[in-house]
Amino acid sequence: MAGVDGCKAGWIAVLRNLNDPAGITLKLFPRFSDLLSHIPILKIIAVDMPIGLPDLLGPDGRGAEKAARKHLGMRQSSVFSVPSRASVYEVDYWAACETSLKSSEPPRKVSKQCFYLFPKIREIDGLMSPSLEDRIYEVHPELAFWRLNGEREIDLPKKVKGRANPDGLDQRRDLLLTKGLPRELLDQKPPKGCGRDDLLDAAANSLIAERIHFGNATPFPQDYQRDGKGLRMAIWA
């Protein structure tokens, strides 16, 4: 199984084998499709990237973001609103905003933070189908940390004014240590094009992959909807 986070260099993944607790590795994948073709097969892939894109965005956005934010308190701003599929497939920011205005009610533009994720959202959307839903699950690191922290939000942010916050990252690392992940994994130098926050997020997502495997994870919201491709719109934790 794998916990995955997008990064500048591609996709950073913490790979785990529950039959071999010591067999936990960090691996960088240039393309998301490389995760699907990995040998041995990754039976569960828990990835921090929106899956399921609405054709028309209502007042509350995707139900997944709204359901996740309810639990995150000061960390809820980490959950970006995902615009319509048509907007996500625009490659120019202002074109994306124009398309989003036409496909949302009330009309709204696209945040710059979300726009920078569009290439990776398109990468998954182009591969994803309902038949892959038993392997690929949308997760969110801050919701993962909330779940792992006894359903309490993490006190400190990962970033302050756009820069890594060592205290917030240490707090998350220390929580992951209590869940049995090895310090050598969590404290290693990330690969080029991957930040320490990406590594820790992938590690947290790997623990949600374990929860999914054992049937202990739940979708947010539980009464999730499906998009025009038949894909569920839910964040798992």
Report the predicted TM-score, pTM, of the whole model to 2 decimal places. Answer: 0.95
Please state whether 220 falls in left (phi above 0), alpha (psi between -120 and 50) or beta.
beta
Rounded-to-integer distance, Cα 12 and Cα 32, Å: 10
Cα dihedral 133, 134, 136, 140 in deg (nearest 10): 90
Query: Residue 19 has what pLDDT?
Result: 83
Spans of all domains in the chain: 2-236
Query: Residue 226 has what pLDDT?
Result: 95
CA distances from 233 to 1, 26, 117, 224 (A): 21, 28, 17, 6
Query: Residue 158 has what pLDDT?
Result: 92
Nearest-CA neighbor of 1 among 128, 126, 136, 121? 136
- Tens-binned pLDDT, residue by residue, of the chain (237 aa): 999 999 999 999 999 998 887 789 999 999 999 999 999 999 999 999 999 999 999 887 789 999 999 998 888 888 888 999 999 999 999 999 999 999 999 999 999 989 999 999 999 999 999 999 999 999 999 999 999 999 999 999 998 888 889 999 999 999 999 999 999 999 999 999 999 999 999 999 999 999 999 999 999 999 999 999 999 999 999
